[in-house]
Structure 1
Amino acid sequence: MILNKVALIVGLISILLGTTVSILGIWGYIGDTGLVWRSLSTIGVVLLGAILVVAINNMTNTKDK
């Protein structure tokens, strides 16, 4: 269960950072569009990793009775 909590925190931070980078790119505070896309791609990969960790953890989680 602790792995799910860590993945949730990583996912929330990724979403927050992705939103921040997107807004900064839209308003022109980040002038280099390549930097915006590389940042969003990196954050997307981290978010995908967190989602896969949760999915695999839930599939392999066995509960002893």
Structure 2
Amino acid sequence: MERQNLVKDSLLDLMAEMVLDKAVRQFNKEQLYAAIDVALIKGDKETFIELTNQLKQLLNEEEK
């Protein structure tokens, strides 16, 4: 019984970590999209390129 509870707790911990990780990635994507929009509005090419590179990296990490 003790082992079964340990396995159950481990699975719940893993699921919680996965949900939190997904939420953080989604938040980061939304922040990057918003910052990219601001860079476009301001005409800040350097920041735009930097932010789009960060977004590309984040999206590539999600594909793995």
Q: TM-score range by the shorter chain?
A: 0.5 to 0.7
Two-structure CA RMSD over aligned residues (Å): 2.2
Which structure: greater helix fraction? 2
For structure 2, the 5+ residue unaligned runs are: 1-14
Number of equivalent positions: 50
Consecutive aligned runs of 4 or more in structure 1 exceeding 3 Å deviation: none
For structure 1, the 5+ residue unaligned runs are: 53-65
CA contact (8 A) 1:25 1:36 kept: yes
Structure 1 residue 20 displacement after superposition: 0.8
- Identity, % of aligned pairs? 10
If asked which structure has higher relative contact order (CA below 8 Å, sep 6+), I would say 1
Distance in 2 between the 1:48 and 1:11 partners? Answer: 12
TM-score using structure 1 length: 0.52
TM-score using structure 2 length: 0.53
